[in-house]
Amino acid sequence: MKKLSICAAAIIALAMTGCDNGKTGTIEGEVRDAFTNKPLEMPTVGMDSTIYTTLSKKYEFNQELRKGKFKFVKVPVGAYRVYAGRSKYVKTRMKIETTEQNPNASLILYIYSAQVDPGLYQGTPEGPLKIDNKWVVYSTNCDESIAGYRLTMPQQQAGDAKASLAEKIGVKKKGKKGKKARKAAPVAQVAAAVTNLPDPRVVEGKLEVFYHNSSSVSTAITAKTYPAVVAPIASHKDCKGFGAGETKGVFPVKDKATDLKVEYVAENLYKISGNLPKGKQIIQLSQDGKTLQTYYFEAK
């Protein structure tokens, strides 16, 4: 019995020694603007459910924080979720895991201005450059065909569609009080006037853009690009929204899809990249099998 007690005491002592000498490491990195890739001064960084935060009175690296850099020392090895934010910026979170073999971690966290509207953007040194989806008012609702664009649209109908879209995204109408409205054009003249589907946006074959979704998503966003061709509407009867008398539209070639890479950047912001096949393309962004948005591009 005495021997058993001694062994038990030895095991307890060994366990306590292991806890006291638990492996720790350093978690450090930099916070950057997602669109400019430039460091952001004085971000707020922390690790969920821990004492590690740049807001702590004991945080000792404030001078480096002015350069967008952060550092947490003596962090026990394990799995964590690191977050970063800043006033008037959208937060980001990243999962990391350290081990006894690799107790240190270095990472870059990206955040972006809360003033950025939903849509597709290019990143530039000056900030986000929005890619106007001028084709959306010509799009039709398709099931199996994925997407379809009208080649032409009556001018009045195109104007109504743009106004409806503006209302949906919250764009206010501009105008001066007291200004007289222009006289409406004769009905026959309006009916005869049409607008053509805008030309595709010409881009380099190597695509790298950002997509800001309008709401949080619980499942992954996917992106594909398809060759775009002019084809008979009769062969795409699942597409609703073409006008009477129209016989052709622009459609994607379904069996020639190219997958694009989608990466999480920050909350509701994704980086989309990949090589576009040469020629006209319809890019589809979707979630749970449902199309979120399509864009009409032409790769050089």
Q: Assess if residue 12 is contained within a domain.
A: no
Q: How far apart are CA 286 and CA 290, in angstroms?
A: 5
Q: Are residues 71 and 201 in the same domain?
A: no
On whether residue 17 sits in a domain, the answer given is no
Contacts of 276 (CB under 8 A, 6+ apart): 203, 205, 206, 207, 225, 258, 297, 299
pLDDT at 34: 97
Whether residue 172 is contained in a domain is answered as no
- Domain range for 39 is 23-113
Contact 146, 140 (CB under 8 A): no
Would you call 50 exposed, middle or buried from its count of C-beta atoms within 10 A (0-12, 13-18, 19+)?
middle
Give the per-residue pLDDT at 17.
31
Do 129 and 274 belong together in one domain?
Answer: yes
Contact of 271 with 260, CB cutoff 8 Å: no
**Are 126 and 104 contained in the same domain?**
no
Residues 106 and 124 in one domain: no
Decide: 33 and 123 in contact? Cβ < 8 Å. Answer: no
Q: Could you tell me if 35 and 156 lie in one domain?
A: no
Q: Would you give the DSSP letter of residue 134? A: T
Query: Domain end: 67, 96, 113, which one?
Result: 113
Q: How far apart are CA 39 and CA 42, in angstroms?
A: 9
In 3D, which of 123, 125, 45, 46 has the Cα closest to residue 86? 45
Q: What is the reported pLDDT for 290?
A: 87
- How far apart CA 110 and CA 32 sit, in angstroms, is 5
Rounded Cα distance, 228 and 279, in Å: 8
* Per-position DSSP letters for 8-65, written without gaps between them: HHHHHHHHHHHHHT--EEEEEEEEEETTT--B-SS-EEEETTSS-BTTSTT---HHHH
Q: What is the residue-level pLDDT of the chain in tens, covering all 300 positions?
A: 444 444 444 333 333 333 335 899 999 999 999 999 999 999 999 999 999 999 999 999 999 999 999 999 999 999 999 999 999 999 999 999 999 999 999 999 999 999 999 999 999 999 999 999 999 999 999 989 999 999 998 886 666 666 665 555 555 444 444 445 455 545 444 445 889 999 999 999 999 999 999 877 667 899 999 999 999 999 999 999 999 889 999 999 999 999 999 999 999 999 999 999 999 999 999 988 889 999 999 999
Do 139 and 234 sit in the same domain of this protein? yes
Distance CA 199, CA 205 (A): 17
Q: Are residues 151 and 234 in the same domain?
A: yes
The tally of domains found in the chain comes to: 2
Q: Are residues 101 and 34 in the same domain?
A: yes
How many whole angstroms separate alpha carbon 100 and alpha carbon 78?
Answer: 9
Query: Is beta strand 269-275 parallel, antiparallel or unpaired with respect to 206-212?
Result: antiparallel
230 shares its domain with 258: yes
If asked whether residues 144 and 240 sit together in one domain, one would say yes
End residue of a domain, out of 98, 113, 128: 113
Q: Identify the CATH number of the domain in which residue 54 sits.
A: 2.60.40.1120
Amino acid code (one letter) for 44? T
pLDDT of residue 163: 62
* 191: nearest Cα among 143, 242, 259, 244: 244
- 175 located within any domain: no
pLDDT for residue 214: 82
In this structure, the answer to whether residues 147 and 86 fall within a common structural domain is: no
Q: Please check whether residue 237 lies inside any domain of the structure.
A: yes
Query: Domain for residue 89, yes or no?
Result: yes
Asked whether residue 13 is domain-assigned, the answer is no
Does 229 lie in the same domain as 106? no
Q: Is 71 inside any structural domain?
A: yes
DSSP 242-284: PPTT--EEEEE-GGG-EEEEEEEEETTEEEEEEEPPSEEEEEE
